[in-house]
Structure 1
Amino acid sequence: MKGTQDMPPRRRLAKAGMANGWSDHTVEERQETGLQKTIIEEMDRSFQAVILRPSAADAEWSSIDLPHDWRLGMTPSPDHQHPEDEAKVWQGFFPTGVTYYHKLLSLDRGPLGQRTSITFDGIAGFSDVWFNGFWVGEMASSYSPLTVDVTEILRAGDEGPNVVLVEVLNESPDEAKAGLVTVVKDPETGQEIACTDADSRVSVFSCGMVALATEVQISNPKLWQLGKGGLYTPEAHVVDAQGALLDVISTHFGVRTISWAKDGILGNGQWTKIVGANLHRDRSVFGVALPDRVIEQKLELCAELGVNAIRSAHHAPTQKLVDHAERMGMLLLLENRQLSTASSSLEQLRSLGDGPGILTRMVKEIKSLGPDRDTIFGGVMALDDKSYYSITDVVGMHYRSFFGVLDVAVGYVQDKPHVLDEESLYASVRGVYQYDKERAHAGSFSYLGEVMMDTPEPASNAALMPPDFNITGSIALDLTTAYTHPKVSGTFVWTALDYIGEPTLPKDYYWLLRSLFRRDEPLVHAFPHWTWPGREGESIPFRPYSNCDEVEFLVDDVVLAHERVNTGLVMIPDGIKYAPGKLVATFTAQKPARLMVDTDRSVLSVSSGDSIDVAFLRIAVTDEQGNLIPNAANHVKVAVKGEGYLRGTHNGDPSTDNYTCCETFQAFNGFIGAYFASDSSPGVMTVSVASDGLVGVEVDISVSTEDAWHLVHVAKDEAKNIII
């Protein structure tokens, strides 16, 4: 079939309505079931999914929850399928392919004139949708919603269940998205409505359309502020001819002024530096299929770090991310990854609006959609090409401090503000200090380019650049230069959070960033841990990150060194001789004795079809006193009873390919992270964790019909070994 402007020609599911009953019931199915429940209907979760095209005997369907990223069940490999027209890459991306989602719906037909539609907030990949055997829509954008009207082909009541089939095709291994990654809704609205605002009433009749605009003057407005937010929420009430309420549509906006300064921005007249961070779309065990609460959690963690601006790196943002960021008072650098003027791409840009947090957009076509927001390129090209950077309002730069050329770079285009939209690229693994080549674990003591300049091999996720690049040797120097440069308005670190697999456990690098971002908060983070059995008498490399002027080192109250802090880092060239005891606030852990748990949420809201609430639990292996066992690798079993279920577990080990929901998982350097989701009924969810030879623990999480307050996750310094 010939493709549309949104996508190239590609195959479709053959003969919709006849492919094993996928897009509709077969005659045999209807005769056999007598409109009773089928095997598919018996599954307990909302949707079912199958990977790849079926055989004649059909394929196995698995029960899943939405949102869903189907590629997380696959194993990353360099031997993946690859489009012929794309350059071959060696990294172990997730496989590409086709997946189908199948759901049976029982619906009642509404009164005459009422329409029934199904809305998909986001389908990651090229998608086609069938309803009761009819092809009803397609979408090429992973970031735009798709609504299909199914009124004329709806089966109501005794006519039998309706069949929804979605085909999702992903052909690019470096686009980390695949599946129904946001919620699916079935809104119902009438055709004859009356629409009012504060000053007028307008009637809209069947098949009609009207645009209604109004102006509101706000005297002495409450200003939207960085770090605080402050939004107004206008509502539009949709009523029928008798005045009965049919729908309420709300949006939000903020009132603020913002302008560029040479070394920052002026928000409502107050100067600040843009302290930014890049965020990938995916997260931990969820892939790109993030529940609303997980999107919010990502931003909370960034706010706790001291970030005031987010770049939606390598993806267009979801509306939920924009909403949460603006509510929290965060600026946004919105990226566009679809280099097209197709309708779906333009609609994606329009849908994000002109909220108070939107600082820049990633230019003639985009400007026509939102002339009040500045534009920016990701500056990966040579900055001496002034014509390239004259196109956008802001000069975006990648890794100029990282390559040691920032002072030269800011001189090429002097009449525009400069933003380091991607900077630092420092790979490290929590609890690892020296580079482990075999497992591709970069350490906190690793040279900045050590891992990235390694040679390509299946066991190593390295070799991102040729060896002749002039990479600075110190991550502390790189970041200090980037975030304090007098001719740079702001910097976005790469990245604030790791993506797939990392379950929100701060590493040493986190504390360097925090010492830079929160300069009014005195901070000393010393590493590594101080538990090295068998190495008594050896000199242990030891460093602290700090924003203080000086740092003093003591072992069992004996002063060993007194050093000034230089660019956020203190180095002890000869190390410190190891002996069990107390080093500053770092203790030597004893034998593993117990499990300890903390959670970012003690109360969850009940989950519904379009909203899943989740809590994150951090599980630590400690000694009797609560000191972390920094090299613990115990197998921990997680169980849940009551009004909730386990959503996923991981330990932050990047060499682990297991992203499935496992009740038993191995700790990595002392920790496991686990996500739990609430059910649809109020009550209590009880989570228990256990491990052979260790004292276990139970945690109760309430599930309420009320909106649960979200507690900001407070980062804890694991290098101090103190968990309680």
Structure 2
Amino acid sequence: MPAIKGHGMSYQNGKANNGWGPAAADFDDSGWRRLDLPHDWAVENPFDRDENVSQGYRARGIGWYRRYLQLPETDRGRHIELQFDAIATHSTVWINGIVVDRRWSGYDGRSIDITPYVRYGTDPNTIAVRVDADAQEGWWYEGAGIYRHSWLVKRDALHIATDGLHANPVNQGGRWTIPVEVTLQSSAKAASDGTVDAVLTDPAGREVARGSARARIDALGSAIARIKLEVRDPKLWSLAQPNVYRVRAVLRDRANEIDRTEVQTGFRSIRFDADRGFLLNGEAVKIQGVCIHQDHAGVGVAVPEAIWEFRLRRLKEMGTNAIRFAHNAPATEVLDMADRMGLLVMDENRHFNPSPDYMQQLTWLVRRDRNHPSVVLWSIFNEEPLQSTEAGYEMSRRMVHEIKKLDTTRPVTGAMHGGLTTALNAADALDVVGLNYQTWIYDDYHKKHPKRPLTSTEDTSAFMTRGEYASDRKAQVMGSYDDEPSSWGNTHRDAWKAIAQRPFIAGSFVWTGMDYRGEPTPYEWPSASSFFGAMDLAGFAKGAFWIHQAQWVKDRPVVKLQPHWNWTGREGQDIHVMVTSNAQRVRVLLNDRTIGEQAVDPYEMNHFQVPYAPGRIEAVALRDGKEVAHDVVETSGAPVSLVLTPDRQALAGDGLDAMPVTVSAVDARGRPVPLAQDKVSFSLEGQGAIIGVGNGDPNSHEADKASARSLFNGLAQVIVQSRRDGRGVLRLRAHAEGLQGAEVELAVNAVHASPRVPDVEPTTPLQSWRVSPPATTRPDPNVVLAENDMNSWGWDEPPMRRGPEAGAFRLYRSGVNVRADRNDGRAQLSFGGIAGKAEVWVDGVKLGEKIQAEPAPFAVTLPRGAAHREVTVLIEAVQGQASGLWGRVVLERGAR
């Protein structure tokens, strides 16, 4: 952004449409990179020891995005809205050089009414977004840029507001109802009436309830239409059967439908009880939850929906039934997945602050998410220093109060890591007291506050490196036997035991379900991502995954044996073998010889010391003396070939669908090689692209955006994405020196993709003009105005029509920034219509003359020259006729 200097520039800077630099409508962005959203530029940057350790040693900085779009004349009179689901971190948005939005969080969405600022017809509109990613909100990797979806929404002037449908079922006296509230808004010029129809459909898509209401909405006003839907015997939403209903609201103006929206919802009752913990539909359910951040290997925080689905599916495989999205609002599509997959959600606010800017972030979160059956708990803060104080109590009280205005059905918590013993603290304002760690306080606090529901909002914080079974502090490696708790936390086993054995603790939220960039505790450089996850950054299981699966899975037998069985040079030495199981007993065999058998310990798991001998080690799970499951690990040879294992067999050709493909190595007998570290290169054929690679190594500095990645302890991941309108086959190939390559074919299925705002060739309109007073004699076209003269000439924008005037001459003057790809001597300065005789001057040089007085289009060729030009049009009016610039004036690419 240029410095504002001089009176003329300062004067213009105070005007609505004078964005400077990249914010200006006519800024030259011809040399900029073109890309698709969502986008995270930080993950593209190299690791840098001088950057912030908490942000994963990646530079962030300031970035700009620009986009052009056209709106047809038929959109005039409609309500036009620009929506960004999230931008990291602080951001400012301009439309045609006019500031329309500023936000101070990288996690909340915004819906911007751009109706007053847009142009219709052939002139493109310019969207400019400045992103300040130097601003931080968290102490973890937050990415940089427009990393969630962006939308252009067109509605009738009378319309349903964004997030304006509230339809959360309630049970009163055994009767289920949905009190539907539909917020209507109007950008019309007069008051209008509307009718709202609300329709409820069951999980099979059948209509089961309907109602209507009328409302009158003032011009530029809003109103709420209320409809009560009664539902008999709905199918309840539960973890095992997540029955999702849909509520559709249709707005009609007389008989014509003018807007519609819908949300998914579910019928379930929730309660946090001081003695019994969490109750879902009247039954006690132990929360088996994890905390997760939102970045993934290869893609940073710009995570495709299909990768989110993969992440949640992996967590469910572990036995997880609840997610805490720490410490910020998640993407709305992720909550849709949680609804459908049967996952409970603790929905967490980012900033503990009831001041207006931050309260708006909180109320936006509640409005957006209050229909989701998965959301069972609001969280207003995490580990705040003010939590123990009266100020913390007052802040909490105000934030809880605002939530209750919008949603009375869900309790509010805050994640407290201390401060619970003071006379007045934040917990005194909460519905559910959230405990981070502090296992020592569970019993005493419950005894002193027997009426307060309690839950662990964060626990464990133990370290592991996937595939490693001995800690090496010098190498910054942590073993996977769950014997490396943090100084403030517990092992996975001890933390769960403390929660599982106390019915009054609603449940657990393990820190964390997956690794994340930044916060590489207990180390710093070269470690760049965390060690806390039960899975690594790519979603590959660590030892903690199998521990929790044994603790949490109830509907199938589970047994897992660790570690690998490649211990060359340690023959005859005891190897620590951990077996995790939910059976009654486990037996361990080595080369078909029984080593030992134990009763399953559901908390500590089972441990054996096994003298190493190459071959086959096996764990057998027993129930009532019968085998119900087993797991086998074999000693492998050297790697000889690669294997590609896709998560699915096909992609949708919509340009959004993505898929993780696991890369591994096997020996000559096809056995996995758990210690392989080979560098693997990838190539892709077909209508798709490789969008990221990773391997889960917290100490790796290999690029995420690349066509190669080393295996880390036998595994790596490559993420492929389809192209829009794609179809056919993607062929992914993997190569490594000395190994046989691998190839996999993935079908790309043609789909009906959602509409996309067409790409528009940018033009440069000349919008802001100075207009001289009429003169009876011909003025000098190159007359210079004093910089501080803002009033002797007028200000106007095309079209500019002047009626018959006593004076015959006027000067029209504007500046134009010439794009580099237009400064080639061919660009055309095109006038949609000039009435009167005219001369066109650019930087003091006459380029063309119009000798006819009748209104007509006119154009001149712009020679090569400076990046900024001054355009002056001298118009001589014919007596008794109108004159002026009657049409748009634009600088366009010339013919080649």
Normalised to the residue count of structure 1, the TM-score between the two structures is 0.81
1:567-615, CA deviations, whole angstroms, 9 ceiling, x for partnerless residues? 342223xx3222211111211111212111222222222225xxx2111
Contact between 1:125 and 1:168, CA under 8 Å: does it hold in 2? yes
Letter in 1 for 2:151: K
- The answer to whether residue 141 in structure 2 is matched with residue 176 in structure 1 is yes
1:239-266, CA deviations, whole angstroms, 9 ceiling, x for partnerless residues? 56672x5443111221122233424433
The aligned runs of 1:212-291 (5 Å cut-off) are 212-239=225-252, 243=256, 245-261=257-273, 262-291=275-304
In the other structure, the counterpart of 1:162 is: 126
The aligned runs of 1:384-395 (5 Å cut-off) are 384-385=421-422, 387-388=424-425, 389-395=427-433
1:193-238, CA deviations, whole angstroms, 9 ceiling, x for partnerless residues? 7543143555768645442111111112121112321122121234
In the other structure, the counterpart of 1:630 is: 674
Whole-Å separation in 1 of the counterparts to 2:638 and 2:26: 61
Whole-Å separation in 2 of the counterparts to 1:119 and 1:260: 36
Please point out which of 433, 442, 450 is paired with 2:478: 442
CA separation of 1:484 and 1:624: change in aligned 2, threshold 3 A? farther
Letter in 2 for 1:66: L
Please point out which of 556, 562, 577 is paired with 1:521: 556
- The answer to whether residue 77 in structure 2 is matched with residue 113 in structure 1 is yes
In the other structure, the counterpart of 2:438 is: 400
- The answer to whether residue 459 in structure 2 is matched with residue 423 in structure 1 is yes
- The answer to whether residue 307 in structure 2 is matched with residue 294 in structure 1 is yes
CA separation of 1:163 and 1:350: change in aligned 2, threshold 3 A? closer
Q: Give the secondary structure class of the aligned counterpart of 1:376.
A: strand
1:313-354, CA deviations, whole angstroms, 9 ceiling, x for partnerless residues? 211233222222122222211111222332343223222224
Contact between 1:433 and 1:443, CA under 8 Å: does it hold in 2? yes
Whole-Å separation in 1 of the counterparts to 2:14 and 2:693: 38
Of residues 260-269 and 308-317 in structure 1, the stretch that sits farther from structure 2 once superposed is: 260-269
Whole-Å separation in 1 of the counterparts to 2:265 and 2:719: 32
Instruction: Mark the runs of 5 or more structure 2 residues left unpaired by the alignment.
Output: 2-12, 160-193, 198-210, 380-399, 518-528, 530-536, 619-631, 754-896
CA separation of 1:21 and 1:71: change in aligned 2, threshold 3 A? closer
Shift of 1:93: 4.9
Normalised to the residue count of structure 2, the TM-score between the two structures is 0.66
1:100-142, CA deviations, whole angstroms, 9 ceiling, x for partnerless residues? 1222334434344123332112112111011222222111233
CA separation of 1:381 and 1:695: change in aligned 2, threshold 3 A? same
Please point out which of 522, 531, 534 is paired with 2:566: 531
The aligned runs of 1:587-598 (5 Å cut-off) are 587-598=634-645
Q: Give the secondary structure class of the aligned counterpart of 1:365.
A: helix
CA separation of 1:167 and 1:558: change in aligned 2, threshold 3 A? closer
Contact between 1:195 and 1:204, CA under 8 Å: does it hold in 2? no
In the other structure, the counterpart of 1:462 is: none
Whole-Å separation in 1 of the counterparts to 2:723 and 2:259: 27
The aligned runs of 1:210-609 (5 Å cut-off) are 210-239=223-252, 243=256, 245-261=257-273, 262-341=275-354, 342=356, 343-362=360-379, 363-385=400-422, 387-388=424-425, 389-401=427-439, 406-445=442-481, 447-449=483-485, 452=486, 474-500=491-517, 502-566=537-601, 567-572=603-608, 575-584=609-618, 585-607=632-654
Q: Which has the higher strand share?
A: 2
In the other structure, the counterpart of 2:731 is: 686
Q: Give the secondary structure class of the aligned counterpart of 1:128.
A: strand
- The answer to whether residue 93 in structure 2 is matched with residue 129 in structure 1 is yes
1:301-322, CA deviations, whole angstroms, 9 ceiling, x for partnerless residues? 2222212211122112332222
CA separation of 1:696 and 1:169: change in aligned 2, threshold 3 A? closer
1:623-679, CA deviations, whole angstroms, 9 ceiling, x for partnerless residues? 133311111111111111112111100011001133431111111111111111111
In the other structure, the counterpart of 2:24 is: 23
1:499-525, CA deviations, whole angstroms, 9 ceiling, x for partnerless residues? 247111111110001000114433222
Contact between 1:649 and 1:675, CA under 8 Å: does it hold in 2? yes
1:54-108, CA deviations, whole angstroms, 9 ceiling, x for partnerless residues? xxxxxxx434332122222335556447xxxxxxx88855445322122233443
In the other structure, the counterpart of 1:670 is: 714
Contact between 1:155 and 1:162, CA under 8 Å: does it hold in 2? no
Please point out which of 27, 36, 41 is paired with 1:70: 41
In the other structure, the counterpart of 1:621 is: 665
Whole-Å separation in 2 of the counterparts to 1:187 and 1:255: 30
Q: Give the secondary structure class of the aligned counterpart of 2:212.
A: coil
Shift of 1:161: 6.0
The aligned runs of 1:93-104 (5 Å cut-off) are 93-104=57-68
Query: CA RMSD for the aligned pairs?
Result: 2.9
Whole-Å separation in 2 of the counterparts to 1:14 and 1:583: 76
Contact between 1:78 and 1:92, CA under 8 Å: does it hold in 2? no
Contact between 1:400 and 1:409, CA under 8 Å: does it hold in 2? no
Letter in 1 for 2:672: L
Contact between 2:297 and 2:538, CA under 8 Å: does it hold in 1? yes
Whole-Å separation in 2 of the counterparts to 1:565 and 1:158: 73
Shift of 1:20: 4.9
Contact between 1:395 and 1:418, CA under 8 Å: does it hold in 2? yes
Q: Give the secondary structure class of the aligned counterpart of 1:227.
A: coil
Of residues 647-656 and 113-122 in structure 1, the stretch that sits farther from structure 2 once superposed is: 113-122
Structure scoring higher RCO (CA < 8 A, sep ≥ 6) equals 1
In the other structure, the counterpart of 2:804 is: none
Q: Give the secondary structure class of the aligned counterpart of 1:359.
A: strand
The percent of aligned pairs where both chains have the same amino acid is 27
Letter in 1 for 2:288: V
Contact between 1:78 and 1:90, CA under 8 Å: does it hold in 2? no
Contact between 1:305 and 1:517, CA under 8 Å: does it hold in 2? yes
Of residues 161-170 and 293-302 in structure 1, the stretch that sits farther from structure 2 once superposed is: 161-170
The runs of 4+ residues in structure 1 deviating greater than 6 Å are 13-16
Q: Give the secondary structure class of the aligned counterpart of 2:225.
A: coil
Q: For the pair shown, which has the larger CA radius of gyration, 1 or 2?
A: 2
In the other structure, the counterpart of 1:85 is: none
- The answer to whether residue 708 in structure 2 is matched with residue 695 in structure 1 is no
Contact between 2:731 and 2:745, CA under 8 Å: does it hold in 1? yes
Whole-Å separation in 2 of the counterparts to 1:580 and 1:169: 52
In the other structure, the counterpart of 1:649 is: 693
CA separation of 1:202 and 1:695: change in aligned 2, threshold 3 A? same
Letter in 1 for 2:634: F
Please point out which of 30, 44, 54 is paired with 1:39: 30
In the other structure, the counterpart of 1:716 is: none
Contact between 2:148 and 2:331, CA under 8 Å: does it hold in 1? no
